[in-house]
Amino acid sequence: MRFVVRLGTDCNPTFGGKSPEILTVLDTLVLSPDEVCGIVVGPNCGDPYNPLDNWNVTFPNVPQPAPVPPIPPKPGSPTLRVLHLSDTHYDAHYKAGSNANCGEPLCCRQDDGVPANTSDGAGKFGDYRNCDTPLWTLENMLQKLSAEKDTFDFIYWTGDLPAHDVWNQTRQDQLNILQHMVSLMLKYFPGKPVFPSLGNHEGAPVNSFPPPYITGKYSISWLYDALAQSWSNWLPKDVIALVQKGAYYTVSPHPGFRIISLNTNYCNSGNWWMLINTTDPTGELTWLIKTLQSAENAGEKVHILGHIPPGDQGCLKAWSWNYYRVVNRYQNIIAGQFYGHTHYDSFQVFYDETTLSKPVGVAYTAPSVTSYPGLNMGYRFYTVDGVYKGSSYQVLDHETFFLNLAKANVEGKITWEFEYSAKATYKMKSLYPSDWDNLIKVMMANQTVLETYNRLYFKSVHSGACDYTCRYARLCETRSARSSDPSLCKDLKV
C-alpha cells in the first residue's frame, strides 16, 4: 500500500478512488515495493535495480548497414506536407464564465458554477488555468484547417482526446469523445488520410491499458474494439486485427514509404498493469523490429508516430532503452518520429549507443491543441521530402501555428497566427539529426537562442526568459531521447 501512496504523489496525482484495478494488479504482482519503485519512479528510488525491468528485445541476425546520412533533395523536388494535431483534450462541459479556480484538476465547466469575482470566470475561447478546449475553439481550428486542406497531404493525430476530468470518466464517456472527435475529423477533412495514435487519456481510468492476457471485466477490448472500428475510416482492413490486439499498426501510403503508429501506453509508468510484467508488453517492440526489418529489406523509409515521447520521464526505462537501440539499428530508414503528450513544443536527439555523441535520429514533440496547463493553443505542419522515387522522407522544415488565448478572449475573436518556422527561426541548414544536435550546441553557447526555444516551448505564452534551472531542464530534455539516463546530460554546458 505504501507503493500506491508513492504512485499517487510522484507519478500521477489523479488516480485516487480507482483502487479496485490497482489492487488487482498488486494481487498479481511478484515484485517487492522497492522493485516496483525502481520500475515506476526510476533512479529516484535509490536502488533502481529490478530483474524484470532489464529485458532486451532480439534483433534479427542481419548486420546493420553502414550509416548513410540523408542526402538533401534537389531544388524543386516535390514535397509532402503533414499536419500534426495532438492533445486536443476537448471538454464537452466547458462553459465560458464558469469558475476557472475551482480547486480541481479541471475547471471552467458547467458544474463549477459562476464565481463571485468575474476575474475567476472562464475565458470565452479557453483559459490558462486548469481548463481544456471548448468545442467552439476546436471547431474554429478545424474549420480553418479544413479551408486549407488542399495544402496538406496527411494528418498525424497523436492522441489524448478526452478532457482532464480524470476523476470522473466512464468507459462510455471516453467512447463518446472518441466518436465525437472522429466524426469531426471526417466532417472537416473528408477523404484526407488520417493516421491516429492512442493517447494515455483514452483509458478509463486514465493510464489504464491492460495487456491482452487480462481478460474479463478489466479487458481493454471495450476501447480497442471501438478504436478498430473508428480507425477503419482511414486504415486498411488488414491492420484492424492488430489494432484490436494492441492499438498499433503499420501502413504504407506510398511505395517506398511506411508509417508505423505505436501504442506508447505500454511504456507508460502510470499504466500500473505493466507492473505485472514489463517485458515487451503485447510484443510491440518485437513487432516494431520485425516491421522495420521488412522495411529495410524493401528499401522503404519510415515515419514512427506515437503519443508519449520515448525519452519522456514517464516512459518505462527498459522499453525506452530498447526503443533507443531500435532507432540506432534502423537509423538509415527511420526518417521521422512524431509524438505529443507533454503539451510542450520540443525535440529530442538520439545518439549512437557507444559514444552518445553522434546524432542518429530526432523525435518531434508537437505542441498541444489544448491550453492545459497555462499554454497557448497550437498545431504543426511538417514539410517532408517526398513523394518521388528515392525520396528521403526526411522532415525539411516545420511550421507551428498558435492561438494567443489572452488576445482572443480580450478581442472576442479567434485568430490563429503563424508562430515560427524551425529552419528560419533557428537558422538551420536542414532539419537532420545533426542539425538538431548542432542547435543544442548553439543553445549551450547562446542564451538568446535558448530563450527563443524556451518561448516557443510554451507556445509563446511568455517571453522565454530562462534561469539556470530552466536552461538545464530545456537542454537536458533535448538530449534525453531515452529515459532514466543521467549520462546523456553529463557534459552539458549550461
Ligand X SMILES: *[C@@H]1O[C@H](CO)[C@@H](O)[C@H](O)[C@H]1NC(C)=O
Q: Which of residues 414-453 bind ligand X (CB under 6 A)?
A: 446, 448-449
Residues 24, 146, 244, 277: which binds ligand X (CB under 6 A)? 277
Which one, 163 or 335, has the nearer CB to ligand X?
163
Phi, psi (degrees; rounded to nearest 5) at 93: -105, 15
What Cα–Cα distance (Å) separates residue 35 from each residue in 275, 293, 315, 321, 488? 10, 34, 16, 18, 24
Place of cell 471495450: 222
Separation CA 110–CA 280 (nearest Å):
42
What Cα–Cα distance (Å) separates residue 373 from each residue in 73, 318, 341, 491? 39, 29, 12, 31
Which one, 224 or 234, has the nearer CB to ligand X?
224
Separation CA 107–CA 100 (nearest Å):
5
Q: Which of residues 36-95 bind ligand X (CB under 6 A)?
A: 54-56
Task: State yes or no: residue 9 binds ligand X (CB under 6 A).
Answer: no
Strands in 194-196's sheet, in edge-to-edge order, are: 194-196, 154-157, 79-85, 377-385, 395-403, 416-421
User: Within its chain, how far is the Cα of 140 from the centroid?
Assistant: 23
Which one, 87 or 296, has the nearer CB to Zn ion?
87
Residue 341, binding choice from ligand X, Zn ion, none, Cβ under 5 to 8 Å by partner class: Zn ion
Residue 448, binding choice from Zn ion, ligand X, none, Cβ under 5 to 8 Å by partner class: ligand X
Residue 87, binding choice from ligand X, Zn ion, none, Cβ under 5 to 8 Å by partner class: Zn ion
Which one, 268 or 331, has the nearer CB to Zn ion?
268
Query: Is 343 labelled as part of a ligand binding site?
Result: yes
Interface residues with Zn ion (CB under 5 A) are 87, 160, 199-200, 341
In total, the chain counts a number of residues equal to: 494
CA-closest candidate to residue 457, choices 368, 337, 336, 362: 368
**Total of chain residues touching ligand X, rule CB under 6 A:** 13
Residues 28, 44, 143, 168: which binds ligand X (CB under 6 A)? 168
Can you read off the three cell numbers belonging to residue 196? Answer: 491516429
Which one, 339 or 457, has the nearer CB to ligand X?
457
Q: What is the helix (H) or strand (E) element at residue 288, kind and residue range?
A: helix 284-298
Q: Which stretch binds ligand X (CB under 6 A): 20-28, 146-154, 274-282, 409-417?
A: 274-282
Separation CA 378–CA 285 (nearest Å):
31
Query: Is 201 labelled as part of a ligand binding site?
Result: no
Query: Is 462 labelled as part of a ligand binding site?
Result: no
Which one, 200 or 383, has the nearer CB to Zn ion?
200
Query: Is 160 labelled as part of a ligand binding site?
Result: yes
Shortest spacing between CB 103 and Zn ion, in angstroms: 21
Cβ contact 162:89 at 8 Å: yes
Q: Which of residues 96-115 bind ligand X (CB under 6 A)?
A: 111
Task: State yes or no: residue 279 binds ligand X (CB under 6 A).
Answer: yes
CB atoms under 10 Å from CB of 57, counted, come to 21
CA-closest candidate to residue 302, choices 293, 294, 310, 292: 292
Residue 277, binding choice from ligand X, Zn ion, none, Cβ under 5 to 8 Å by partner class: ligand X
What are the beta bridge partners of residue 337?
Answer: 304, 363
**Residue positions in the annotated binding site for Zn(2+)?**
87, 89, 160, 200, 307, 341, 343
**Residue positions in the annotated binding site?**
87, 89, 160, 200, 307, 341, 343
User: Which residues would be at the binding site for ligand X (CB under 6 A)?
Assistant: 54-56, 111, 117, 119, 168, 277, 279-280, 446, 448-449
